Amino acid sequence: LRFLQSGEFLWASERTGFCHLSIHDATGRELRALTEGEWMVTGQVAVDEERRLVYFQSTCAGPLEQHLYVVSLDGGPLQRLTPEPGWHNTVISPDGRFCVDTWQNLEHPARLTLRSLPAGQVEALLFEHEEITPAALGLRPPEITSFRTHDGVLLYAAIYASEETRASTQPHPLVVAV
């Protein structure tokens, strides 16, 4: 719930089965859904009331990725601000002009960049260690796999196992984290 100076409020709800944002008037009447689809808004990051923009993180590109998006409070298409495939965590500056983006994926270590808003253009590289990869550390990234449940739901899993473990016919312990 986020109250706006206009008297409207921004609401996050899972009534569709997925967390999405909507804008409501002061009486609580929904004016419009700002996001919709079979994906999740994973975090509301900031509201720029002057420009009437909402910045939020979501899995719109797929459940194995998280990106920063912006949408107008007046409705319209979503704009993805983080193009690199993988997982982005962002923090918006108090004045709404910049964000710090921490990005990583299975083969690339964390990289911090400063992005300007509202376009998401990279202004500066704050931190990166390109040489520290899983391969350079003698590690193997997890294998991402998926399967459908008996009722048709697609689930994803990450398998962390060495070549020796994979080749073995012996039973191995399993950790399930939901």
Asked if residue 44 has pLDDT above 90, the reply is no
Number of Cβ within 10 Å of residue 165's Cβ equals 11
Digit-coded pLDDT (tens) for 11-40? 999 999 999 999 999 999 999 999 999 999
* pTM summary value: 0.88
Q: Quick check: 178 pLDDT over 80?
A: no
pLDDT value of position 133: 82
Alpha carbon separation from 134 to 104, 107, 130, 158 (Å, rounded): 12, 7, 11, 15
- 139 pLDDT more than 90: no
Band of the pLDDT at 141, cuts 50, 70, 90? confident
- Inter-residue contact 26 to 10 (CB < 8 Å): no
CA dist 135 and 141 (Å) reads 8
